[in-house]
Structure 1
Amino acid sequence: MAGTGKSTIALTVAREQYQRHHLGASFFFSRGGGGRSSARSFPATIAAQLREFSPELKKCINDAAAVNPRIRNLMLYDQWKKLVVEPLSHMRDRSFPSPLLLVIDALDECDDGALYGETAFSALVQCLKDITTIEGVEVRAFVTSRPDGAIKLGFQRILNKEFQKFLFFTISRNGLWMKT
């Protein structure tokens, strides 16, 4: 699956949704890419970009950070809940562009095998699941990844009505095949 254009597709989707004012945030993992190879900065990076999406959301995220000054010491999932899920939950009664899209590219290039006692992949997949359960705010995630075992297993565990459609690509000598 390397070299099949997953990152190009993710970048194109992010640009188009930005122009339509639906891109909430993006994160492009890159193995060996410093902070871009680690899930440790994922919640804070997404939250920082979401702050620029709406003044009301900015206030909610700033308040969450002020109440939790040591938030970066929390487990990945707990950071996500405090910096992303809870602030987005406060947007349900406000005028808010819908759907809000998060683009996450190259999930398989996250180098964190174990992170604060949890696997990075399972924590990231759980984070993505939680954004689909926020009432009153439609949040979608566009994720690219090689279908590595841990990632496939993580998504299989949470497949339900929130995750209605996935595209799987099969690469062969005869070409690229897409199955929905």
Structure 2
Amino acid sequence: MTGQLYGYARVSTSDQDLAIQEAALRAAGCTIIRAEKKSGTTTGGRDELRTLLDFTRRGDTVLVTRIDRLARSIADLDAIVKELEARGVALKATEQPIDTSSAAGRAFLQMLGVFAEFETAIRKERQLEGIAKAKAEGVYKGRKPSIDTDQVRALAASGFGASEIARTMGIGRASVYRVMQQR
């Protein structure tokens, strides 16, 4: 009995499009595709991936377009592959010669995992260098405050308690306390 072919598509941000990955997975024979717009730097919070991993059964295959759509760290990739292997599920990629049902495919997967993690580290390094340069030039001042501290203080001065201020402004009580401690 041949198992089911499941597709998994992922992009990192909400303004990116999943259409190209989904089309490639459909063209490869996937009738069920789980897709999400989440960072690949961790598996935490990736509900569609978790659903897919929980749903697969012995003989099934999980298909991705590229391995970096599945994981960006060797540790996460290894954990996902081990979980799939323990279930008797194969992992394949449409754009890379990855097929965990073969020794060569597993070796190639491990090599790509190393490169994906390296790429993530280099990108983060460049980003931090850019932020440091912008700060030194006075261009970068961090993100704009998301809480109107003057309004928090005004409400507190009017006799509102932290819970009431938080409810009125739609923010967390901890944020109210932080603003009030900055006086």
TM-score normalized by structure 2?
A: 0.29
Structure number with the higher helix fraction is: 2
TM-score normalized by structure 1?
A: 0.29
Specify the structure having the higher radius of gyration (Cα): 2
With CA pairs under 8 Å and 6+ residues apart, which has the higher RCO, 1 or 2?
Answer: 1
